[in-house]
Structure 1
C-alpha cells in the first residue's frame, strides 16, 4: 500500500472526462475518433457523470471541428452521461445555427447537454475560415447573447455590430424550456469569471493554480450575488462547475507515469503555439517530472489518485472534476483500463459522505 487514505467529509463528488481527440503519429483520424466514441460509451456504462468534447480545426492535436456533430453521435449511443462541449468557439459559428444544432443534440440526448462556450485562442484556426481574429472578443459577446436568447425563447430579435436578427423563429426547441446549462471556460483572466457570474452561467476552470482556483470561485460567488442572483441559484451554478485535470490510473504509480508519458509528451510538443500548463520552458523542452508534481496532475495508483483528489477537494471545495485521460492519442487499451480502474477503485471512495479506508 503506497499511502494511508484519511477520512473525507462532504458532498458526493462527480467525475467527467475530457476529449481533445488528438491524432498522434501512431493513430489515424478515424481510429482516434472511433476510439473516443467507444470511450464515451464506456464512460456511460462505468458511471462517469459527464463527457466534454473540444473543438478545433487545422491542428492535429484536435480534429473535432464541430462539437455538435460529435456530441450527437455520442448522444445516440449513451443513456445517462451528461454531454458537454468544451468548447464551442462562438466567433466561428453563426449563433442561431449553433443554437439549432445544440437543441438537436439536447433532444437526441433527452436533455443531457451541457453547452460550454469560449472564444478560441488560435489565430490559425480563424485564418483557416477567413474570420478576423482581432474581433473575436466582441463577436463572442454578441454571439453569447444571441445563443442564450435563442435557447430560452422561441424567437430572436437582435441588433449589433456583427448580427442583425429580426423576429426569427428558432427550431427545434431544447428539452428544457430554459435551455441547457451554459458553461464558460475560464483560465487566467478574471473578467471571464466575472462575466459568467453576472450572466448566471456555470464555469469550467483550465490549468490554473489551486490558489487562483479559490480566488475565482470566491469572485464568481461575489459577482453573481451582487448581480441579483439568489444564493440557491449561485450554489447550483457552482455545484455544476468544475476544473480540468490531467488524470491516469494504473495498478502502480510507476506504471501509470510510464504509460501516460508518451501521449503527454507528444501533445506538448505538437501544441507549440503557446506554453502549456507550465511544463514547457523557453527552449521548448518538456519537463515530465515537473509535470507529474503539478497540482493539476492526478497520475498514479488508485491510492495515490484518491489521496490527490482529497487534497484538491480540501483546498478548493469543488465537487466536480473533469479528467483528461486520453491525452495525445493514448493506446485505446490503456485508456479503457484507466477508466475502469478509476470507476472501480476511485469513484466508490467519493460516493459516500464519510470513508475510512487505506
Structure 2
C-alpha cells in the first residue's frame, strides 16, 4: 500500500502569513520523503483562503529540487482554468525537472468563485475539461498534433519540453461523478475518491460506487488503480486529536460554502467559517475518522482498506491552522510506525490467503 500526503495549504486566519503557509507545504514535502511516503500531492485554488496553492506544477518544480525519491502530484490541476497548450508545456517542464516523478491529477473544478474571476462559466466546466484532457493526451503522445473542438482549436503544434515518462505521466482523475469515473476506467486512468468526513458506512458506500463504475465498464475493480483521500491522525494527546478534527471540520465548512455558493466574507478574501444545516459535531467527526491512539488508527485504517481496497492512500496533513511542528512529528510517526504496521498486516493477510 502506497501512502502520500495531501497538502491543501490552507489559511484559517490572518495570524498565518501566506509565506508561512507555503513554507509549511514545502517542509511537509521534505518530511514526507524522509519518512518514506511515496507521494506528495498539491491542490490548486484561487482568490481565497481555502487554499493558497495557485499552481501545483510550480510547487512540484520547486520541491523537485529539494527531494530525490518522492513522487510529486497535482491534486488537481483545474483544467478549465488553463490554456491547454501552456499547460502541456508546463507539464513537460515539471516532469523533466523532477526526473520523471510527476503524477498528473486533473479535475473540472467546482468553485464558481474561481471561475468568475477567470472569465469562465462553471456550467461549461465539464465540457472544457473533456476537451483539454483530450488535448493533453494528444500533446503528450504525438510529436505534432492538432485539435478541433467547441472551445479549443489547435493548429498543428509541437511541445518543446516533453515529459520524461512515456507515453504520459500517470494520469489521476478526481471526481465524485460516476460517469467521469467510468470514463477514467475506460481509459485506464488512475482515480482519486474520498469519503469526506464520513465513517465506515461512507467507505462502504464508496466501495459500492466504485464496484458499479467497474461493472458498467465490464472491468474488475481490482484491475483498476484508485487512491483514497482521507483525514487521519494518531496521538495519545487528546488536545492534538481535537485540534486536527476541528481543522478538518473547518476545511469541510469552507469547501461546502464555496461549492454551494453561500460563502460569506467581510473583505472579499477571508471566507467565514459558518456552520451549515448539515454541519457535523466534532464528536461525530471524531467517531467517523481514523483518529486516536496509534493502535486504534492502525486498526481503523486496516478496516477501511479491507472494505475499499484502494491502491493508494493520501493523508490530509495541511488542514486549517494545525500546528506545523506537531504535524511534522505526525508525518514521521506515520513513516516509522503506522505505515510499516499497516503494510505488514496487509502482507501477512495476503500470504495467508495464498497459502
| TM-score (norm. length: structure 1) | 0.85
Query: Matches of residues 85-164 of structure 1 in structure 2 within 5 Å?
Result: 85-164=74-153
Aligned to 2:248: 264
CA contact (8 A) 1:21 1:63 kept: yes
Unpaired runs of 5+ in structure 2?
A: 197-201, 261-273, 350-355
Q: CA deviation at 1:211?
A: 2.4
| Residue of structure 1 aligned with 2:68, choices 66, 71, 79 | 79
CA contact (8 A) 1:18 1:53 kept: yes
Q: SS in structure 2 opposite 1:205?
A: strand
Give distance in 2, aligned partners of 1:141 and 1:322.
25
| Residue of structure 2 aligned with 1:288, choices 245, 259, 282 | 282
CA contact (8 A) 1:186 1:206 kept: no
The structure-2 alpha-carbon separation of the partners of 1:99 and 1:235, relative to structure 1 and needing over 3 Å to count, comes to farther
Give distance in 2, aligned partners of 1:117 and 1:212.
24
Q: CA deviation at 1:152?
A: 1.7
Give distance in 2, aligned partners of 1:219 and 1:166.
39
Q: CA deviation at 1:193?
A: 1.0
CA contact (8 A) 2:245 2:285 kept: no
| Residue of structure 2 aligned with 1:314, choices 273, 285, 306 | 306
Q: CA deviation at 1:265?
A: 4.1
Give distance in 1, aligned partners of 2:152 and 2:106.
18
Is residue 315 of structure 2 the alignment partner of residue 326 of structure 1? Answer: no
The structure-2 alpha-carbon separation of the partners of 1:82 and 1:158, relative to structure 1 and needing over 3 Å to count, comes to same
The structure-2 alpha-carbon separation of the partners of 1:310 and 1:285, relative to structure 1 and needing over 3 Å to count, comes to closer
Aligned to 1:191: 179
Q: CA deviation at 1:284?
A: 6.7
Q: CA deviation at 1:319?
A: 3.4
Give distance in 2, aligned partners of 1:333 and 1:258.
16
Q: Which has the higher contact order (CA 8 A, sep 6+)?
A: 1
The structure-2 alpha-carbon separation of the partners of 1:171 and 1:220, relative to structure 1 and needing over 3 Å to count, comes to farther
Alignment RMSD, CA only? 2.1
Q: CA deviation at 1:192?
A: 1.5
1:61-94, Cα deviation, whole Å (9 max, x unpaired):
1111111111111111111111111110000001
Give distance in 2, aligned partners of 1:253 and 1:213.
31
Is residue 3 of structure 2 the alignment partner of residue 15 of structure 1? Answer: yes
Give distance in 2, aligned partners of 1:174 and 1:235.
28
Q: CA deviation at 1:269?
A: 4.2
Q: How many residue pairs end up in the alignment?
A: 327
